[in-house]
Amino acid sequence: MLTLKCTKNVQDYLSLMSSELMNHELLDSTLLGAWYVNLIEIERKKHFLFVNERTLISFVCGGFKKSKNLKHDMHNLFISQLLTFFKELDFSLKSLDALMAEYENITFSKTTSRSILGSMNDLAQLYRHYVWFDGGLNSCDMNEIILRVNNTPQANLGHKYSIDTAKAMLLRIA
């Protein structure tokens, strides 16, 4: 089961009721663990920033419209972006299939780790900087920026790269 740990601004944006949020910390048995999601602005446009709690692998997703169905569409939005990103990294089909089987259903939860929230703030700044440096949203290649950010050493991972950490975890099932 895919667990999206939502920041307060995401909860408000999606109009998530407290009854829709898991109140207790479940042991996440999925290979990569839970994902955190934050709502950030890049050039005055809203984007979701997704960050994995175990690998700090991240990606941004924009181009969505606020609607009553957005919280129901989050699963498809997340899965499509994740698959696009992981295909660019040449992960094996076996590992992708295993991940997709784990992520058939979605639950929402409150954020629980200040450390990951701090990493998310740093990553949001990196994304904004690279978009600006590459000429803005209309000129940049967001997929290339996502790869660049994930090839940045992360202090919370002992200065390892998020991509390498994710590949090592996914190699266990390949």
To 10 degrees, the CA torsion angle through 48, 92, 153, 31? 70
Share of the chain above pLDDT 70, in %: 95
**Lowest-confidence region among 22-36, 98-112, 118-132:** 22-36
Sign of the C-alpha dihedral computed for residues 81, 87, 93 and 96 taken in this order:
negative
d(CA 130, CA 144): 10
What pLDDT does 22 receive? 84
CA distances from 156 to 25, 80, 118, 120, 134 (A): 21, 27, 10, 11, 27
The CATH code that applies to domain 2-171 is 3.30.420
What ranges do the domains of the chain cover? 2-171
pLDDT tens-digit profile of 69-110? 898 899 999 999 999 888 888 887 888 888 888 898 899 999
Average pLDDT of every residue of the chain: 90
pTM: 0.93
State the average pLDDT over residues 141-160: 95
